[in-house]
Amino acid sequence: MTQTLLYTGKAKSLYTTDNPDQLLCIFRNDTSAFDGQRIEKLERKGMVNNFFNAFIMETLNKAGIPNHFVKRHSEEASIVKKLTMIPVECVVRNVAAGSLCRRLGVSAGLELNPPTFEFFLKNDELHDPMVNDSLILTFNWASQKDIDQMKKYAFAVNDVLKKLFLEAGLILVDYKLEFGHYHGELILGDEFSPDGCRIWDAETKKVLDKDRFRKEMGDVVEAYEEVAIRLGVKLPQVA
């Protein structure tokens, strides 16, 4: 397979493949916080996130939510459909945490009913500012149809995953999704892993996601692995 590096982000690298419609996505051990201001390598994280993401994307696919995942290629890489990404992040929240608490002064842990939806512009230099439908249309980041579909899919993901996580004794607090176009069709791209969502133990409220890295709580990858195992993700045995 001829591979040319197409893009390297904060946590993943995308390579071309022999198929012009597909990319090789390598999940690296790099872990970043605060718009890339703090970066560290966490052993095994790339592998855990690759298996985690494959499991979630396959689950979503079965539930009728189209996404870019094609197949796992190796322990740390997967083949994905090459998308033209929409430069906004879609955040759905079931429980208040993180920037929602900072912006609105609400207490962390407050149940959000109905769940909320926010758009953020994907731009580290500007610290991913919050945007809305009007700005997205004016600046041509996406069409009204795309906006409607992103919201519809983002909540459909919630219906599937909230239940799946709860059955494993886990609360899906919030998560970020990115979408893109594949031959004109809007589908889910990027990744779903503990790097881009918040997960708490339903009983103890133990933090099991990237907040462990942001808040320097330790055992980051161990927590990701715990969630993966509880969800039924089959991880390779540690040698």
- Tell me the C-alpha distance between 122 and 125, whole Å: 9
Judged by CB under 6 A, does residue 175 bind ligand UDP? yes
Q: Among ligand ADP, ligand UDP, none, what binds residue 225 when CB lies within 5 to 8 Å by partner kind?
A: none
Phi, psi of 27 (to 5 degrees): -90, 110
Nearer to ligand UDP, 82 or 212 (CB): 212
Six-digit token string for 21: 């419609």
Positions that interact with ligand ADP (CB under 6 A): 7, 9-12, 14, 23, 68, 80-83, 85, 178, 180, 189-190
Q: Can residue 162 be called a binding residue for ligand UDP (CB under 6 A)?
A: no
Contact 33, 23 (CB under 8 A): no
57 binding ligand UDP? (CB under 6 A): no
How many Cα atoms sit within 13 Å of 219 on the Cβ side? Answer: 8
Quote the least distance from Cβ 86 to ligand UDP, whole Å: 14
45 binds ligand UDP (CB under 6 A): no
Decide whether 36 or 169 has the Cβ nearer to ligand UDP: 36
- Using rule CB under 6 A, residue 196 touches ligand UDP: yes
Helix, strand, coil fractions of the chain, as percent rounded to 5: 30, 35, 35
Binding of residue 85 to ligand UDP (CB under 6 A): no
Q: Which stretch binds ligand UDP (CB under 6 A): 52-60, 109-117, 170-178, 225-233?
A: 170-178
Strand ranges across the sheet with 197-201: 130-131, 111-121, 88-95, 170-177, 197-201
Cβ closest to ligand UDP, residue 17 vs residue 177:
177
Q: Where are the alpha helices (DSSP H) in 63-187?
A: 98-104, 133-138, 144-167
- In the structure encoding, which two tokens stand for residue 206, read together? 């133990």
DSSP output for 45-79? HHHHHHHHHHHHHHHHHHTT--BSEEEE-SSSEEE
Comparing CB distances to ligand ADP, the nearer of 82 and 93 is: 82
Given 24, 57, 65, 91, the residue binding ligand UDP (CB under 6 A): 91
Question: Quick check: 197 binds ligand UDP (CB under 6 A)?
Answer: yes
Residues 86, 180 contacting (CB under 8 angstroms)? yes
Minimum CB distance to ligand UDP, residue 85 (Å):
14
* Nearest residue to the partner ligand UDP, using Cβ: 98
Contacts with ligand UDP, residue ranges (CB under 6 A): 89, 91, 97-100, 128, 174-176, 196-198, 210
